[in-house]
Amino acid sequence: MNIVLDNIGKSYKAGKREVLALSGVSLNVGSGEFVSIIGPSGCGKSTLFKIICGLANPDRGSVRINGSRDYRPGDVLSYMPQKDLLMPWRTVLDNVLLPVKIRGEDLKKGREDALGLFPLFGLEGFESSYPGELSGGMSQRAALLRTVLAGRELMLLDEPFGSLDAITRFNMQQWLQEIWLKLNRTVIFITHDVDEAIFLSDRIYVMSPRPGSLRDCLEVTIPRPRTSSAVIGNNFVKLKEKLIGLLADQLPPSDS
């Protein structure tokens, strides 16, 4: 599985105004890689995912998956959007089985797979609960379980931990690393969080403010599995300094 974005541009019409969201975005992600995209709010990160998923059309440029522009998104990727995650009137099990149901795939097998993964996702015993009965971290894990169960090799995760407190968030990052090491999937991960990007990624693309373009790409060579002590290691701190520098360069001067 490999994905190549070539020179993507996209603008939105908002009434009479035209908003240029993305300009000249090119990137590539190889099989089994964990790649993050970090950038300021409104720079077009979610738009990029919508383009890859076929939910928005680019004005220019192309997306190729395994060399083809004519891929069917549902066949090759699963997408965890930034919001609107779980349906409150369905149980957790029914929520996570939704993609299997929608595609008319084998529901019995889907159910078995799902139940087998509930413990790994820290959701054992909550199969028949409703989303309103879960904590924030559990809801995010349920939404991730649904994305994993969709069974596609490429997973697009749009700020999956954005709404969580710092402690829960760090636990979730460690847990996601474990899952990723076990499941052997390709991940593109959107975040605003510098530590999260470094902790999880093989590579980090840094985006400029809107219109979003890619400003830099950093390699993270810290060995895995990364533990909580990795975040105070020399490599980590150096990368963090560089990343913060790249993002801070993008702020308007404070007297403007």
Task: Work out whether 140 is an interface residue with Mg ion (CB under 5 A).
Answer: no
- Phi, psi at 21, each rounded to 5°: -90, -40
Q: Which positions from 80 to 99 touch Mg ion by CB under 5 A, shown as an x/- string? A: --x-----------------
For 94, the token pair is 């029914």
Say which entry of Mg ion, ligand ATP, none residue 44 contacts (CB below 5 to 8 A, set by partner kind): ligand ATP
Residues found near ligand ATP in the complex (CB under 6 A): 12, 14, 19, 21, 41-47, 82, 210
Task: Return the one option of Mg ion, ligand ATP, none that residue 222 interacts with (CB less than 5 to 8 A, by type).
Answer: none
User: By Cβ distance, which residue is nearest to Mg ion?
Assistant: 46
Nearer to ligand ATP, 41 or 184 (CB): 41
Pattern of binders to Mg ion over 6-45, x per CB under 5 A?
A: ---------------------------------------x
Q: Give φ, ψ of 111 to 5 degrees.
A: -65, -45
Residue 69, SS3?
Answer: coil
CB-based contacts of 70, cutoff 8 Å, min separation 6: none
Whether 156 contacts 49, CB under 8 Å: yes
CB atoms within 10 A of CB 236: 18
Q: Is 46 in the site for Mg ion (CB under 5 A)?
A: yes
47 binds, among Mg ion, ligand ATP, none (CB under 5 to 8 A by kind): ligand ATP
CB of 54 to ligand ATP, least distance (A): 15
The first and second tokens of residue 102, run together, are 């929608």
Nearest CA-CA partner of 189 in 229, 210, 220: 220
| Minimum CB–partner distance for residue 146 and Mg ion (Å) | 19
User: What's the CA angle centered on 66, arms 121 and 100, to 5 degrees?
Assistant: 40
Residues of the shown chain interacting with Mg ion in the complex, contacts defined by CB under 5 A: 45-46, 82
